[in-house]
């Protein structure tokens, strides 16, 4: 109770409340604009939050992270264009419902499913806290190294159909992180004699280039699109009643979202896919899926929104980001000298609880905002895409230049922008680059410190958690190798 | 999703992009000895060369494996794709010109000029769109520089303004 009071005190400040409101409302608006998304917005706003208190900056960014998917459902349902990439499955059910004249029902269901998924996930996070606080101190250097290694492996394997490319990009990220002066032997790495490379390649420069500037280029180069959506009439609260009818699908989808969110590198797409497949397989009307099934819509939106809170678990407890957005947030923690990991749970548990509460509050804010302003948000959808590209490019300058007032940073970000632009045109994996950079740094650091106490290879896994993580890595790799072998065998037999 | 990802390998130009990336990785590998240090008698994982080697070798090995697996894919080459890349380069130049001009003319004037001229380049000619572009520039400056006080230096031209106005412009715009 004392802990809760202390957490409430952290949040009960006008600047924190303002950051939550701006972040959550801004996140919904950004999510509703097709082609922008939370990654672009967080990348741009990240440097601006450095001058704020950690909890203020994090509240704003959490607001965007947690609310963008609510907004993304609006264009997905009304104009068959997902606002954020993870709303793609929502179009399968939302658009047919709109075509049948059930746009209000679809939106209402999406809002209630999103709210349920998010709150379910936050409750799980709160309930898991004591367990995390108990387990987290058992994570030493070697456990964190193994967890980061597992994260890299899972990120690569999650890119089914592009695993080799994802591995190549993760390697690129690891290499990028090593550029500059290394602090153990004080030697330069891959600077090619250039002093401007001595400081290394800043993660935020890469993130802004790959996510924001590249997206601006995509929007500016592609033909201008201007969507139109019909206004919604009537209330949007009825979705909660309908959600209660499909409570089994909602509960399963929320659970998939939490589980997939907790595993580094997996995230929304897998959670959605599993939930949608489960909902279809267990539905009494599987034939309705893809033609406007409320169950499909609930599965997609519940799973999506359950992921952000769950993704905070490995970030807060171990300091290991599971995907690009939490990787960006990790840099906010570092800038403010708040080091996520076992120490955070031991020494600043009130700060952790304040983050949970902030997540809860922002979801309530978003729901209230959406219930009253969906029709206003339809105006946002109508903004021409090239105009949005212009705004993103202009805003990207603030993000990069305000870091160090360096034109070189801007040139590097623009270079990564072109690289990201080409990768986006070919649908090649970008996220492994960011996670390679972040997790590569963690792995280098933790492997060095852990090897000081390791005499033989077996010593590395002689602690229970280290052994478990090692075992999981072996199982993951073995099951993937088995899957490849089975696929190869099947294709050889079918060729015969 | 998986099918979509597999299809991306078949798009015109993607093989060339991957091949160029692998060539870059091979170049990095060739520079490994020159650009990183090896400490004699030091532990392997403590070598400054260890992690760059992991990164570069992953790039080369995964990249070569990708090329080996997809070399039979006849994706072809679409000259139109290069034109699209070049159009993106045009906006890179726009961006870098913007970066170069801000310290001279100041954030407010440059941003408004940038958004309006970019809107014109995008084909927006009507007063409403150009006004919206100007407003966008103004709003960005007001939110970030005036409101959030992000670190963007004042323009060199502000030095020619009278004392109090000069300070006001440097702090806010």
B55 closest CB neighbour out of A161, A175, A220: A175
Torsion angle of C-alpha atoms A313, A314, A315, A317, degrees rounded to 10: 80
Q: Is A209 on the interface with B (CB under 8 A)?
A: no
Residues of A (421-440) whose Cβ lies below 8 Å from B: 421-422, 425-429, 436, 440
The pLDDT confidence band at residue B5, using thresholds 50, 70 and 90, is low
Predicted confidence (pLDDT) at residue B1 exceeds the cutoff of 70: no
Is B136–A391 a contact, with Cβ atoms under 8 angstroms apart?
yes
Q: In this predicted model, what pLDDT tens digit does every residue of B128-142 receive, in sequence order?
A: 999 999 999 999 999
pLDDT value of position B74: 62
pLDDT value of position A383: 84
pLDDT value of position B33: 93
Q: Is A165 on the interface with B (CB under 8 A)?
A: yes
Torsion angle of C-alpha atoms A156, A159, A164, A170, degrees rounded to 10: -40
Q: Which chain A residues are Cβ-neighbours of B25 within 8 angstroms?
A: 168, 171-172
Residue of A158, A178, A222 for testing the chain B interface, max B β-carbons within 10 Å? A178
Q: Which residue ranges make up each domain of chain B? A: 2-70, 79-172
Predicted confidence (pLDDT) at residue B4 exceeds the cutoff of 60: no
Q: For residues B83 and B88, what is the distance between their CA atoms, to the nearest angstrom?
A: 9
Is A187–B36 a contact, with Cβ atoms under 8 angstroms apart?
yes
Count other Cβ atoms within 10 Å, centred on residue B162: 7
Q: Is A411 on the interface with B (CB under 8 A)?
A: yes
pLDDT value of position A253: 93
Distance from CA of B52 to the nearest CA of A (A): 5
Residue A299 in tokens: 């599965």
Q: Which chain A residues are Cβ-neighbours of B50 within 8 angstroms?
A: 444
Is B81–A182 a contact, with Cβ atoms under 8 angstroms apart?
no
Contact A323, A431 (CB under 8 A): yes
Distance from CA of B70 to the nearest CA of A (A): 11
Distance from CA of A402 to the nearest CA of B (A): 5
Q: Is A488 on the interface with B (CB under 8 A)?
A: no
Nearest residue in A to B45, CA atom: A448
Is B92–A427 a contact, with Cβ atoms under 8 angstroms apart?
no
Distance from CA of A167 to the nearest CA of B (A): 6
Q: In this predicted model, what pLDDT tens digit does every residue of B6-29 receive, in sequence order?
A: 556 666 778 888 999 999 999 999
pLDDT value of position A267: 67
Nearest residue in A to B133, CA atom: A387
Count other Cβ atoms within 10 Å, centred on residue A18: 13
Contact A171, B52 (CB under 8 A): no
Residue of A170, A404, A425, A452 for testing the chain B interface, max B β-carbons within 10 Å? A425
Q: In this predicted model, what pLDDT tens digit does every residue of B109-118 receive, in sequence order?
A: 999 999 999 9
B8 closest CB neighbour out of A184, A427, A451: A427
Q: At what angle do helices A431-451 and A141-158 cross, to 10 degrees?
A: 160
Is A161–B36 a contact, with Cβ atoms under 8 angstroms apart?
no
Residues of A (302-331) whose Cβ lies below 8 Å from B: none
Distance from CA of A397 to the nearest CA of B (A): 7
Q: Which chain A residues are Cβ-neighbours of B2 within 8 angstroms?
A: 160-161
Residue A480 in tokens: 């993937």
Is A185–B37 a contact, with Cβ atoms under 8 angstroms apart?
yes
Is A170–B58 a contact, with Cβ atoms under 8 angstroms apart?
yes
Is A165–B35 a contact, with Cβ atoms under 8 angstroms apart?
no
pLDDT value of position B6: 56
Quick one: how far is CA B17 from the chain centroid?
17
Residues of A (26-65) whose Cβ lies below 8 Å from B: 47-48, 51
Provide the residue-wise pLDDT of chain A in tens; the chain has 496 residues: 777 888 888 888 888 899 899 888 888 888 888 777 788 888 888 877 877 887 888 888 888 888 888 888 888 888 777 777 677 788 888 888 888 888 888 889 999 999 999 999 999 888 887 787 788 788 888 888 998 898 889 888 888 888 999 999 999 999 999 999 988 788 899 999 898 899 889 888 898 899 889 989 998 998 887 777 777 777 777 888 888 999 899 999 999 999 888 877 666 777 888 888 888 888 888 888 888 899 999 999 999 889 888 888 888 888 888 777 888 888 777 777 778 887 887 778 888 888 888 889 999 999 998 888 888 877 777 888 898 899 889 988 988 888 888 899 999 999 999 999 999 888 888 888 988 998 898 899 889 888 887 888 888 888 888 999 999 999 999 999 998 888 888 888 877 7
Predicted confidence (pLDDT) at residue B46 exceeds the cutoff of 90: no
pLDDT value of position B8: 61
* Assembly ipTM: 0.91
Residue A309 in tokens: 């809170």
pLDDT value of position B9: 62
3-state secondary structure chain A: CHHHHHHHHHHCCHHHHHHHHHHHHHHHHHHHCCCCHHHHHHHHHHHHHCCCCHHHHHHHHHHHHHHHHHHHHHHHHHCCCCCCHHHHHHHHHHHHHHHCCCHHHHHHHHHHHHHHHHHHHHHHHHHHHHHHHHHHHHCCHHHHHHHHHHHHHHHHHHCCCCHHHHHHHHHHHHHHHHCEEECCCCEEECCCCCHHHCCCCCHHHHHHHHHHHHHHHHHHHCCCCCCCCCCCCCCCCCHHHHHHHCHHHHHHHHHHHHHHHHCCCCHHHHHHHHHHHHHHHHCCCHHHCCCCCHHHHHHHHHHHHHHHHHHHHHHHHHCCCCCHHHHHHHHHHHHCCCCCCHHHHHHCHHHHHHHHHHHHHHHHHHHHHHHHHHHHHHHHHCCCHHHHHHHHHHHHHHHHHHHHCCHHHHHHHHHHHHHHHHHHHCCCCCHHHHHHHHHHHHHHHHHHHHHCCCCCHHHHHCCHHHHHHHHHHHHHHHHHHHHHHHHHHHHHHHHC
Count other Cβ atoms within 10 Å, centred on residue A267: 27
Is B36–A393 a contact, with Cβ atoms under 8 angstroms apart?
no
The pLDDT confidence band at residue B76, using thresholds 50, 70 and 90, is low
Q: Which chain A residues are Cβ-neighbours of B52 within 8 angstroms?
A: 175, 178, 189-190
């Amino acid at each position: 109770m004392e802990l809760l009071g202390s957490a409430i005190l952290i949040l009960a400040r006008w600047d924190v409340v303002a950051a939550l409101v701006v972040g959550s409302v801004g996140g919904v608006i950004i999510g509703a604009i097709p082609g922008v998304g939370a990654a672009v917005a967080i990348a741009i706003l990240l440097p601006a939050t450095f001058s704020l208190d950690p909890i203020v900056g994090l509240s704003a960014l959490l607001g965007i992270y947690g609310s963008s998917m609510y907004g993304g459902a609006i264009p997905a349902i009304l104009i068959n264009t997902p606002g954020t990439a993870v709303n793609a499955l929502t179009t399968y059910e939302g658009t047919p419902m709109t075509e049948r004249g059930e746009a209000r029902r679809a939106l209402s269901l999406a809002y209630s499913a999103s709210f349920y998924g998010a709150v379910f996930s936050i409750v799980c996070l709160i309930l898991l806290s004591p367990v995390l606080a108990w387990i987290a101190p058992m994570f030493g250097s070697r456990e964190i190294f193994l967890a980061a290694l597992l994260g890299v492996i899972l990120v690569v394997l999650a890119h089914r159909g592009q695993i080799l490319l994802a591995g190549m990009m993760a390697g690129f990220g690891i290499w990028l992180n090593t550029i500059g002066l290394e602090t153990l032997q004080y030697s330069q790495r891959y600077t090619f004699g250039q002093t401007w490379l001595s400081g290394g390649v800043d993660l935020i420069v890469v993130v802004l280039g790959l996510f924001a500037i590249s997206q601006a280029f995509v929007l500016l180069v592609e033909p201008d699109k201007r969507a139109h959506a019909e206004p919604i009439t009537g209330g949007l609260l009825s979705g909660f009643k309908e959600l209660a009818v499909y409570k089994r699908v909602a509960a399963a989808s929320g659970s998939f979202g939490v589980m997939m969110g907790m595993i580094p590198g997996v995230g929304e797409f897998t959670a959605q896919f599993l939930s949608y497949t489960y909902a279809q397989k267990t539905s009494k009307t599987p034939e309705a899926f893809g033609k406007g099934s409320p169950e499909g819509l609930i599965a997609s939106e519940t799973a999506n929104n359950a992921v952000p809170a769950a993704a905070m678990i490995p970030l807060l407890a171990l300091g290991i980001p599971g995907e690009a957005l939490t990787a960006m947030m990790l840099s906010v923690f570092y800038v403010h000298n708040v080091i996520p990991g076992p120490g955070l749970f031991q020494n600043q548990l009130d700060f952790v609880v304040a983050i949970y509460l902030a997540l809860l509050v922002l979801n309530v804010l978003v729901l209230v905002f959406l219930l009253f302003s969906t029709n206003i948000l339809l105006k946002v959808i109508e903004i021409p895409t090239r105009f949005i590209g212009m705004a993103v490019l202009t805003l990207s300058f603030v993000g990069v230049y305000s870091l160090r007032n360096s034109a070189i940073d801007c040139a590097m970000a623009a270079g990564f922008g072109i690289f990201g632009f080409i990768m986006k045109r070919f649908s090649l994996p970008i996220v492994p680059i960011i996670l390679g950079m972040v997790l590569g740094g963690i792995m280098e650091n933790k492997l060095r410190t852990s090897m000081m106490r390791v005499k033989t290879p077996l010593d590395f896994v002689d602690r229970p958690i280290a052994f478990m993580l090692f075992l999981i890595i072996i199982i993951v790799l073995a099951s993937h190798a088995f899957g490849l072998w089975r696929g190869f065998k099947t294709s050889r037999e079918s060729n015969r | 999703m998986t099918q979509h990802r597999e299809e991306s390998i078949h798009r015109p130009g993607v093989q060339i992009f991957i091949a160029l990336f692998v060539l870059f990785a091979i170049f990095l590998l060739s520079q490994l000895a020159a650009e990183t240090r090896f400490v004699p008698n030091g532990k392997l994982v403590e070598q400054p060369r260890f992690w760059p080697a992991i990164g570069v070798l992953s790039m080369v090995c995964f990249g070569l494996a990708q090329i080996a697996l997809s070399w039979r894919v006849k994706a072809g080459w679409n000259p139109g794709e290069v034109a699209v890349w070049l159009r993106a380069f045009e906006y890179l130049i726009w961006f870098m010109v913007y970066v170069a001009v801000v310290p001279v003319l100041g954030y407010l004037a440059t941003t408004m000029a940038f958004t309006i001229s970019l809107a014109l380049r995008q084909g927006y000619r009507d007063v409403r769109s150009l006004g919206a572009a100007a407003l966008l520039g103004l709003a960005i400056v007001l939110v970030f520089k005036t409101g959030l006080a992000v670190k963007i230096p004042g323009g060199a031209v502000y030095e020619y303004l009278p004392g109090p106005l000069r300070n006001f412009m440097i702090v806010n715009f």
